A and B are shown apart, each in its own frame.
Chain A
Amino acid sequence: DAGVIQSPRHEVTEMGQEVTLRCKPISGHNSLFWYRQTMMRGLELLIYFNNNVPIDDSGMPEDRFSAKMPNASFSTLKIQPSEPRDSAVYFCASSNRDRANYGYTFGSGTRLTVV
């Protein structure tokens, strides 16, 4: 298994531009999570999906952030318009809700820099 695949690995964009981050979860996993990691705030859960349905988006910081999961093998996190304070590492993780095997598998992350 290739694991959780995120793209791009690095993104540098100018303030005001739209940014789209992509994630391919592990095949067979039915939960997907988007986290943001910063020095100041650590790891923050932004949103998670079960069976492609958004369950809790209370961590999404503003309306500028949106996430979709059109099918079991793909999810996007979009920021529009982007701001310098959005600079962070964004992680996608997936899991199988079978409790006996509970645990997340993380992707390598996307390092976003907004200038």
Chain B
Amino acid sequence: AQSVTQLGSHVSVSEGALVLLRCNYSSSVPPYLFWYVQYPNQGLQLLLKYTSAATLVKGINGFEAEFKKSETSFHLTKPSAHMSDAAEYFCAVTGSGYSTLTFGKGTMLLVSP
């Protein structure tokens, strides 16, 4: 069975600082991995995805993530946080058959001026 662990339910950074949101996964098959962002009162929006091509994946809004098989990780980073990045971020992994996504509990990113 597949699962996702997101370390830290809340992460606080200052504007301009590095953003690092951690995601570790467990999967019985080679995974596809995703990061989604959710702004208040909105649905989830795809940030980026890893689908067995390049291990360093670039997404929207300056975010990127690196797939590390040896560490079963897919951490999300952004060099310089902006106030508009404040939102909740979800990591997700495909299951066997690649039919469904299993989501982590989410990490709320707080950005202070």
Residues in A lying within 8 Å of B, measured CB to CB: 4, 31, 33, 42-43, 45, 48, 50, 55-56, 91, 93, 97, 99-100, 102-109, 111
What chain B residues lie within 8 Å of A91 (beta carbons)? 43-44
Residues of B in contact (CB 8 Å), total: 22
A106 contacts B32, C-beta separation under 8 Å: no
The 0/1 profile, CB within 8 Å of A marked 1, for residues 30-55 of chain B is 00101010000111111001010000
What chain B residues lie within 8 Å of A45 (beta carbons)? 100-102
Known contacts A102-B32, A102-B49, A102-B51; A48 and B43 CB within 8 A of each other: no
B89 at the interface (CB under 8 A from A): no
Residues in B lying within 8 Å of A, measured CB to CB: 32, 34, 36, 41-46, 49, 51, 90, 94, 98-106
B99 contacts A108, C-beta separation under 8 Å: no
Provide 29 A-B residue pairs closer than 8 Å at the C-beta atoms, listed in order of the A residue.
A4-B43, A31-B99, A33-B100, A42-B103, A42-B104, A42-B106, A43-B90, A43-B103, A43-B106, A45-B100, A48-B100, A50-B99, A56-B100, A91-B43, A91-B44, A97-B99, A99-B32, A99-B51, A102-B94, A102-B98, A103-B46, A104-B46, A104-B101, A106-B43, A106-B44, A108-B41, A109-B42, A109-B43, A111-B41
B45 contacts A106, C-beta separation under 8 Å: yes
What chain B residues lie within 8 Å of A42 (beta carbons)? 103-106
- A90-B41 Cα distance, complex, nearest whole Å: 12
| B84 CB → nearest A CB, Å | 19
Number of A-B residue pairs having CB atoms within 8 Å of each other in the complex: 51
- A100-B98 Cα distance, complex, nearest whole Å: 11
Quick one: closest A residue to B45, CB to CB?
A106
What chain A residues lie within 8 Å of B100 (beta carbons)? 33, 45, 48, 56
Quick one: closest B residue to A55, CB to CB?
B99
What chain A residues lie within 8 Å of B90 (beta carbons)? 43
Quick one: closest B residue to A31, CB to CB?
B99
- A56-B95 Cα distance, complex, nearest whole Å: 13
What chain A residues lie within 8 Å of B104 (beta carbons)? 42
